[in-house]
Amino acid sequence: MTARSAPMGCRGAEARRVETGPMNIAFAAPDPEVAEISEATGSMLTRLGGLEIARGLLDSDDKAARSADAALLEFGLLDLAACQDPAQPASLHHLAAVLGALGTQVLAARYIPGLVQAHLATALGLEAPAAWTGAVAFWDSPCTDLAWARNARSLVVHVTGDAAKVEGLAPTVVGDLSDGVVFIPTHVDGDDLLLMSPLRATGIAVRNRPSLSPTLQISDLAFQGAACRVAARGEAARMALRSAHRLALCAVASAQAQAAGAAAQMATTYARERFQFGLPIGSFQAIKHRCADMYIEAQLARSMADGAAADAGNPDAPHAAKAFCGDAYRVVTTKAVQIHGGIGITWEHAAHLYLRDAHATATLLGGGAAHRRILAERAAASALKAA
Amino acid sequence: MNLPPALSSLPDAASESEIGKIVEAWLRAELPPEWVRAVDANDPVALFALRENDELSTSWFRKLGSTGLSTAAWPVAYGGLGLPRARAQMIGRSLAKYGAGPPLKYFTGLNHAGPTVLDCGDDEQRARFLPPLARGDEIWCQLFSEPGAGSDLAGVATRARRDGCDWIITGQKVWTSYARQSDYAILLARSDPDKPKHQGLTFFIVDMRLPGIEIRPIKQITGMAEFNQVFLDDVVVPDALRVGEVDNGWRVATSTMLSERSGLGNQPGETADVAAKLLARVAADPEAEPAVLDQAVTLRLREIALNLVMARVAHDARAGTPGPEGAIGKVCRSELSQAVSELGVASAGVGGLDWRPRDMGSPAAGLLATRAATVAGGSSEMQRNIIGERVLGLPKDPGVDPRAPWRDLRRS
């Protein structure tokens, strides 16, 4: 209101404050505990094989990945994702730190679906899963409203009390669907419902899709008269899914930001060690400036992801982080592959693991354009309210 | 050259458009009927399948090559038609229209080795190698790049030592297409490590079946292995197969690269409008984000401008050899193809992430396949150096000493 009534071009303190009003993320000083968690996860992942885990999956060898699955369960990662109070947005700081460490090894996408599912289960007062299998069917939706709507469009649901029969296809569900439970947000007779079913139940067929990124598993779920249970409805369902969605967005963004940093570092190390024309290629400004740009992008992304994870209750923050970090990670990996020259386009080199992960995770939960549109709509709504 | 009757009027054609008519009439009569049908039906998938059929496309090229149409600018004595460049290009465009140009495995021979031998070889080498190359009887590959010499090609370390009438060659080459299928290679080797790097190189023709040559495929991020590493261990090459003077190989290699730049950046008919295709797809999607549509339009505008600038460069260069302005095409086309592929993945959502090794055509496959474009055939960084230094006349990077003996240069 103040800004609107102030004369055009006013640069007073009051006007500045209001200008930053509709969209902002607060700075939080780094938490030493968070740094500790990140470091501990990092050294554990190095012991487990680092990038070789994702490399193995790319070459259809999941031995190292299975060891990592077990180690991360024992580490208590699933418990970190559990929801203490669905009315309060989860404290994401610690979880984001672990995901950042997973991101540097291109592993985050393998574990995020399980974490989101664990969060949702505990938010609904159900028992948390004890394995990484299972998923929530909303991975192509930038916001929960769309998640309800999209599933409602592709599924036919008949509800009788707390039981539901489901027909149709839930496409591109992310996660390991070999076992565990699937949660399905859907919309029936004017009510938002969260359905759930064991994945091994009769009437559910899982069709795995081949994936660009070895750590991102994608499947189509076909329901043929599957008997599901209504886990929650109405406001309870909406609140739980919103909390899980927020966790998913922040988790992906944290992983992307740290992965961008790792890819940038890998390429910068190469620029230092690779000689052409008698000099390290990093001494040529064409390369040096690319390295500096990658560093800048990764630093911006890191602060964005950290800020979003720490700024609980800010409804813009998860969208902002997902849009920004996804773009930053893609930009960095394009440069990182290029700096490696010919070796960067070989199967044996790890640069393309980051490239694959960047583009795969950017599409999860809606691309950058979708999240920027949501932010723009919110900014417009808040401007309208202010007027 | 014994031109078939249908083509006999070609050398005396009054105009380029008349050339196009003559060539297309001949193509319609001589191509397999299903090939012509695929062209008429505008069916790129069917045409691709026909071209991928090695037996069919090879036998087609033998027929085409014997007419001299695919080497029309070469002298008649060496398997060409002796036509001026602009007329040869017109023939190239007509061939491209029918997807009837030489199969990829002949690319290095026709675009790199042939022009180099023509320009820098002796009469004996021209008479021995050019006619079979033009006819499609022999396949060639290029042994230039090394693990330690990519952008810095003049830094190659493969050694050539004189031994009487022979040379003994030892070293490791990389990024060689069709090495296994090739009969011959053009090779750049270090003959004098004590001279500055550009002055101690010698250029050879190497028989790829010689003992001491070992070929290993390189698997790329696409899952395919189109390139190879080639190891040379005391391979004996007669001095008669040296191209150009001893220690003057850089001049010969420069001639090869001039033909390479024009070949990769400005291939008539080969420049598919990738942004136009993406825009058509995104525009047809009712759920497309406005921002994605805006990006697709932006990329298409860039593509239109690029096509126009390349047409102007080609028009200006028609009489002479291609200038360094060709680097504009290489930089813009390769970077555009990457941007288009990235938006292709982003606009397709999670459903666009389907990918299997050796996959072609999906958005995810496009993302991976376009990565080579900004590296192969001269990286974008080197192309920008060409523009900065040769077009704009800016000085070279400081710290690079072209006079230091190659032996003293630090290598990784």
3-state DSSP call for residue B78? helix
* B contact test, residue of A359, A365, A371 with most B CBs within 10 A: A359
Q: What is the pLDDT of residues B266-303, one digit of tens each?
A: 343 445 789 999 999 999 999 899 999 999 999 999 99
Pairs of residues, one from chain A and one from chain B, whose beta carbons lie less than 8 Å apart: 146
Answer whether residue B103 shows pLDDT above 60: yes
- Cβ neighbours of residue A65 closer than 8 Å, sequence gap 6 or more: A53, A54, A56, A57, A110
In this model, does residue A3 exceed pLDDT 50? no
Could you report the per-residue pLDDT of B296-345, keeping only the tens digit for each? 999 999 999 998 988 888 777 665 555 677 788 889 999 999 999 999 99
| Residue extent(s) of CATH 2.40.110.10 domains in chain B | 141-251
Segment A331-358 shows an average pLDDT of 97
pLDDT at B317: 66
What is the pLDDT of chain B when averaged over all its residues?
90
Quote the CA–CA distance of A267 and A298 in Å, as a whole number.
13
Q: Is the predicted pLDDT of residue A145 greater than 70, yes or no?
A: yes
CA distance A303 to A203: 45
CB contact under 8 A, B375 and A344: yes
Mutate to test the interface with B, among A143, A212, A215, A274 (most CBs of B within 10 A): A212
Q: Do B218 and A139 touch (CB under 8 A)?
A: no
Residues A123 and A261 in one domain: yes
- pLDDT: which is higher, A2 or A116: A116
Q: Which of A201, A235, A269 lies at the terminal end of a domain, its last residue? A: A235
Residue A368 lies in a domain: yes
CATH superfamily for domain B266-391 = Butyryl-CoA Dehydrogenase, subunit A, domain 3 (1.20.140.10)
Q: Is B336 helix (H, G, I), strand (E, B) or coil?
A: helix
Q: At what angle do helices A108-123 and A351-363 cross, to 10 degrees?
A: 30
User: Quick one: what percent of chain B has pLDDT higher than 90?
Assistant: 71
Residues A229 and A243 occupy one common structural domain: no
Neighbours of B392 (CB within 10 A): 9
The pLDDT of B168-194, averaged and rounded, is: 97
B344 vs A contacts (CB less than 8 Å): none
The lowest-confidence range among A8-17, A226-235, A261-270 is A8-17
Residue-number span of the structural domain to which A96 is assigned:
12-131+236-387
Residue at A7 is within a domain: no
Domain of residue A175, CATH code: 2.40.110.10
Final residue of a structural domain among A235, A263, A294: A235
**Whether residue A124 is found in the same domain as residue A147:** no
Query: What is d(CA B320, CA A366) in angstroms, rounded to the nearest whole number?
Result: 51
What is the CATH architecture assignment of B141-251? Beta Barrel (2.40)
A353 and A260 belong to one structural domain:
yes
Q: Which amino acid is at A386?
A: A
Q: Under a CB-based contact definition with an 8 Å cutoff, are residues B274 and B290 in contact?
A: no
**Chain B residues closer than 8 Å to A367 by CB:** 289, 292, 346-347, 349
Find the mean pLDDT for residues A255-267.
98
Q: Which residues of chain B are in CATH 1.20.140.10 domains?
A: 266-391
Residues of A in contact with B151 (CB under 8 A): 276-277, 281, 341
Distance CA B120, CA B113 (A): 10
Looking at the fold, whether A38 and A176 belong to one and the same domain comes out as no
Residue matched to tokens 């190189």: B201
The pLDDT of residue B263 is above 70? no
Per-residue pLDDT at B129 exceeds 60: yes
Q: Which residues of B are catalytic?
A: 260
| pLDDT tens string A178-192 | 999 999 999 998 899
Do A117 and A254 belong to one domain?
yes
> Tell me, what's the ipTM?
0.90
What is the percent of chain B with per-residue pLDDT over 70, rounded to a whole number?
Answer: 95
Instruction: Find the DSSP H helices in B210-248.
Output: none
The confidence score (pLDDT) of residue A335 equals 98
Query: What pLDDT sits at residue B260?
Result: 61
Are the beta carbons of A275 and B148 separated by less than 8 Å? yes
Whether A3 is covered by a domain: the verdict is no
Q: Please tell me the predicted confidence (pLDDT) of residue A21.
A: 56
What are B210's two structure tokens? 């010689």
Number of domains observed in the structure of chain A: 2
Alpha-carbon dihedral B25, B28, B31, B33, rounded to 10 degrees: -170
Q: Are residues A120 and A142 in the same domain?
A: no
A82-113: pLDDT as tens digits = 876 655 544 788 899 999 999 999 999 999 99
Residue B320 is predicted with a pLDDT of 57
The domain boundary, picked from A187, A220, A235, lies at: A235
The confidence score (pLDDT) of residue A215 equals: 97
